Amino acid sequence: MCGIVGYIGYRDTNPILIEGLKRLEYRGYDSAGVCILVDGETVIVKDKGKVSHLESLLDAKNVHSTIGIGHTRWATHGEPNFVNAHPHSNEEGDIVLIHNGIIENFNTLKKSLITQGYTFKSDTDTEVLAHLIDVFMKKGNKLFRAVRLALSEVEGTYGLAVISSREPNILIAARKGSPLVIGVGDKENFIASDVSALITHTKQVVYLDDGEVAEITAEGFRVKTVQDEEISKEVTEVFLTLEELDRGGYDTFMLKEIMEQPESVLNSLRGRLLLDEGTSKLGGLENVLDKLVTAKRFILTACGTSWHSGLVAEYMFEQYLRIPTEVEYASEFRYRNPIIEPGDAIFFISQSGETADTLAAMHEAKRKGALCIGICNGVGSSIARDSDSGVYIHAGPEIGVASTKAFTSQLTVFALITLLLARKKDMSLADGKIIVEEFKLLPGKIKKILELRSRIEEIAEVFKDTPNFLYLGRGYNFPVALEGALKLKEISYIHAEGYPAAEMKHGPIALVDKNMPVVFIAPKDSTYDKINSNIQEIKARKGIVIAIATEDDDRIDTIADYSIKIPGTIRMLTPILSVIPLQLLAYFIAKKKGLNVDQPRNLAKSVTVE
């Protein structure tokens, strides 16, 4: 979603801002802009479109500075155009800011500012902030204080960066519900909404917490709360390399991330398997282990692909732990006054760790006294920091908007949690050891599936112009059907639906004719015979069947039109394998349609607004 970068120091700010914005492009955006201070004046360059377009506008202007802020906008209020692109300024143009998030009371604030004589240029909620800060500066406050006074009137969320030609040697940053990090350099400092935008310059960072405002100079920074309380912040080191952020020779980040799954799953497992004890070890859960083992109910909440991983975890928890488990969309959970009782443990699943609905759901659950466990990829992310305990999935940075390796790593971590708790409950050592052995085989099995790439590409060629797809699975593979359909629709714009295979008879079968491809996730497990009957039902109506089946399954070839064979494993781990052909199928179909798979239209990598 929207991205923020900022710089104050001794170097030319333009390349630093542009490089930072390029690193944030993956989050999804529709316009971009910067503001720098030149000879006591603010210079704003912005437009609808890509960062490369902004870069040429900035080059053409030939202005330079050692302080500046930059933004990529994903429209929430007002269409994507020049006027609505950030930065925004007050009327005199000497207070300039960029903002991620939503000012919820912007209409009330706007009306009050209009009665005070302020006029508005844009349709954005952000512009009220520039005028509001102006009000407080005109009352004699310095910029740092004026920003805090303005923010005390604001309801909503913000990641904010402000500069002013009235005080040209400071940069103000603030955060509430939208991430913001300070990068600490030598005689220079940086800000960004995501560490990836600043790690080429420094690995020393300070994460702002909600309600904090920082005054940053080239020499240092200080942080206060909106309510004026001085805060001392810890500088931490980020362990991320540039290669981890680059495409590593692949055409797209999405393909790189799909192909990386043998390593990313291995990284999720690294140091966490104890063969002799037939169990796993998850340091982040040690302080809550007893509570989890005796929990009366688990609730798993998340959005999108992360929600699908919660659905798979529900099968794991109920099969091995016999703990009642509910899975809920975070956006529904947060607003429905959920019933939370003693003995409940709630898992918040998020690749980014910044998804607004999931974060708000967690804050709501905390208010109600629930035990909150974060399952995140983003190290130091808001969900990771605000949860009581948690487990990092260690998938590495996921840049492609469509989540792939984070999903398989989330499933891996849920299987590790299941093993850990099951061994504390009633699973035998022998059974635990079998599961540990199966975990160890996963990376090799994923490699084998990835070798089927060209076969899957051929199938994609056949179906690239198909307007509709159905995905069907049962048990553990029902959520995989949902995930396969989501992958296809989000990057290829083909309409696709996922269903439990037997549910098909209650409606979707009406869609089936000779033009309808139906993807069955049909590994050899306890539902195999049932799903075979469902395949027959589709064939009887002349539907086209693409089956994801187990390697030694010859029977499937006699009924399916196309089959993709994956190695067998225990039921709990099957989704980690069965989803991979579906990721590749969606990928190749979208590529063959000539689409931008890394940044599909209308989507953002990190949805930091509700």
Beta bridge pairs of residue 98: 161
Shortest Å distance, C-beta 354 to ligand F6R:
7
Shortest Å distance, C-beta 282 to ligand F6R:
19
Residues near ligand F6R, by CB under 6 A: 303-306, 350-352, 355, 358, 402-403, 486, 490, 606-607
- Catalytic site residue 2? yes
Question: Quick one: 88 or 487, whose CB is closer to ligand F6R?
Answer: 487
Shortest Å distance, C-beta 269 to ligand F6R:
20
Centre a 10 Å sphere on the Cβ of residue 410 and count the other Cβ atoms it contains. Answer: 30
Catalytic residue among 22, 110, 565, 605: 605
**One-letter amino acid of 532:** N
Question: Quick one: 162 or 607, whose CB is closer to ligand F6R?
Answer: 607
List, in sequence order, every beta strand (DSSP E) within 78-200.
Answer: 88-89, 95-100, 158-164, 167-176, 181-184, 189-192
Region class of 526: left (phi > 0), else alpha (psi between -120 and 50), else beta = alpha
Residue nearest to ligand F6R (CB): 304
Catalytic residue among 2, 35, 372, 376: 2
Shortest Å distance, C-beta 604 to ligand F6R:
8
Question: Quick one: 84 or 196, whose CB is closer to ligand F6R?
Answer: 196
| 3-state secondary structure (DSSP) of residue 43 | strand
The dihedral of CA 155, 161, 165, 169: what is its sign?
A: positive
Question: Quick one: 45 or 303, whose CB is closer to ligand F6R?
Answer: 303
8 A C-beta contact, residue 516 and residue 561:
no
Question: Quick one: 90 or 381, whose CB is closer to ligand F6R?
Answer: 381
Structure tokens, 98? 């960029």
List, in sequence order, every beta strand (DSSP E) within 179-226.
Answer: 181-184, 189-192, 204-207, 212-216, 221-225
- Catalytic site residue 514? no
List, in sequence order, every beta strand (DSSP E) within 9-112.
Answer: 31-38, 41-48, 67-73, 88-89, 95-100
8 A C-beta contact, residue 253 and residue 245:
no
Shortest Å distance, C-beta 590 to ligand F6R:
12
Q: How far apart are CA 450 and CA 453, in angstroms?
A: 6
Question: Quick one: 132 or 376, whose CB is closer to ligand F6R?
Answer: 376
Shortest Å distance, C-beta 407 to ligand F6R:
8
Q: How far is CA 339 from CA 38, 294, 361, in A?
A: 56, 19, 13
The residues annotated with a catalytic role in the active site are 2, 605
